[in-house]
């Protein structure tokens, strides 16, 4: 092959490589760079939101602890406190004494000043149950069998956050923040708690602006959807949305998942999990 032909062939190969670089590698590199920039921006936002939610939960924990140390709430003579153990919806009526009314006033005062808290309550070893506001329906009810009571009594002295659980007399799904009442010997004799519904949690995170085309979903460590503007998703399984992509979502602390030409940017709360 003549030198001139070799030079022309070399130029052709170089030009072809440049075209491949511009047409293939460079756009891919720019796309990855842009995606990293965008995902970094959204993860920063998610970290700020996580900070706000963690502070919100922490503040309720602190408040529940304060309620559990209140002398009126701790009153030991609970024989006459309201009980629903043998209640009949047709015939039940409240007979609240002065001591119980004082407790009701304390619980009600807290709930009225904390709009994202949906219920404040206390259960006792004898089955008594006091709420800030009357139950939706006075059906038979034993607080000692409920998830919030069992969790707290299994962890005396600790402030616990329950898994989401179904309410008895309403369609609400609740997350309870609970702690025990301890006597002088450190033995538990009751539980005080505050509930946040998934709807209230959604209302809380909806205050944060993540962009016009973005939607935020909050899920727990098992993939249960705790908050979403789409109410039909609440208490559902994230697997119904992510399918085969669920595993990296649940096991990787943060990242980007491509889902039907859309991007899901996820972040795991270090404190809440």
190 strand-pairing partners: 124, 181
- Cβ atoms within 10 Å, residue 29: 11
The single residue listed with the structure tokens 């069992």 is: 150
Range of the domain at 74: 1-218
- The reply to whether 235 falls in a domain is no
- The reply to whether 142 falls in a domain is yes
Instruction: Report which of 139, 134, 168, 161 is spatially closest to residue 221, judged by C-alpha positions.
Output: 161
* Per-residue pLDDT at 234: 82
* Per-residue pLDDT at 15: 44
For the stretch 145-154, contacts whose Cβ atoms lie closer than 8 Å and that sit 24 or more positions apart, written own/partner, are 147/176, 148/176, 148/178, 148/191, 148/193, 148/195, 149/123, 149/178, 149/191, 151/176, 151/178, 152/178, 152/179, 152/180, 152/188, 152/191, 152/193, 153/180, 153/188, 153/191
* Per-residue pLDDT at 36: 58
* Per-residue pLDDT at 107: 98
Helix, strand or coil, per DSSP, at residue 256: strand
Q: In CATH, what number is assigned to the domain containing residue 152? A: 3.30.450.20
Q: pTM for this structure?
A: 0.77
- The reply to whether 95 falls in a domain is yes
* Per-residue pLDDT at 210: 67
Contact residues for 94 (Cβ-Cβ < 8 A; gap 6+): 82, 134
- The reply to whether 225 falls in a domain is no
* Per-residue pLDDT at 225: 86
- The reply to whether 253 falls in a domain is no
* Per-residue pLDDT at 103: 98
Within the chain, which residues score under 50 in pLDDT? 1-28, 30-31
The count of domains in the chain is: 1
* Per-residue pLDDT at 147: 93
* Per-residue pLDDT at 16: 43
């Amino acid at each position: 092959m003549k030198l001139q032909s070799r030079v022309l062939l070399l130029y052709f190969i170089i030009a072809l490589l440049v075209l491949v670089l511009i047409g293939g590698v460079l756009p891919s590199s720019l796309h990855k760079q842009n995606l990293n920039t965008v995902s970094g921006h959204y993860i920063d936002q998610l970290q700020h939101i996580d900070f706000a939610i963690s502070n919100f939960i922490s503040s309720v924990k602190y408040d529940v602890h304060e309620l559990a140390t209140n002398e009126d709430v701790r009153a030991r003579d609970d024989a006459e406190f309201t009980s629903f153990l043998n209640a009949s919806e047709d015939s039940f009526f409240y007979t609240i004494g002065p001591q119980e009314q004082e407790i009701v006033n304390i619980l009600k005062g807290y709930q009225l000043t904390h709009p994202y808290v949906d219920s404040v309550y206390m259960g006792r070893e004898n089955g008594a149950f006091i709420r800030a506001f009357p139950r939706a329906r006075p059906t038979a009810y034993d607080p000692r069998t409920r998830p919030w009571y069992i969790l707290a009594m299994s962890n005396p002295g600790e402030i616990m956050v329950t898994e989401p659980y179904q309410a008895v007399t309403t369609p609400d799904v609740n997350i309870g923040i609970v702690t025990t009442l301890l006597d002088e010997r450190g033995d538990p004799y009751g539980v005080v708690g505050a509930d946040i519904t998934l709807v209230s949690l959604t209302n809380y995170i909806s205050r944060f602006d993540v962009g016009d085309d973005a939607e935020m979903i909050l899920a727990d460590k098992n993939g249960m959807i705790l908050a979403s503007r789409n109410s039909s998703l609440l208490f559902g399984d994230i697997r119904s949305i992510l399918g085969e992509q669920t595993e990296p979502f649940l096991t990787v602390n943060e990242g980007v998942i491509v889902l039907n030409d859309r991007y899901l940017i996820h972040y795991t709360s270090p404190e809440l999990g």
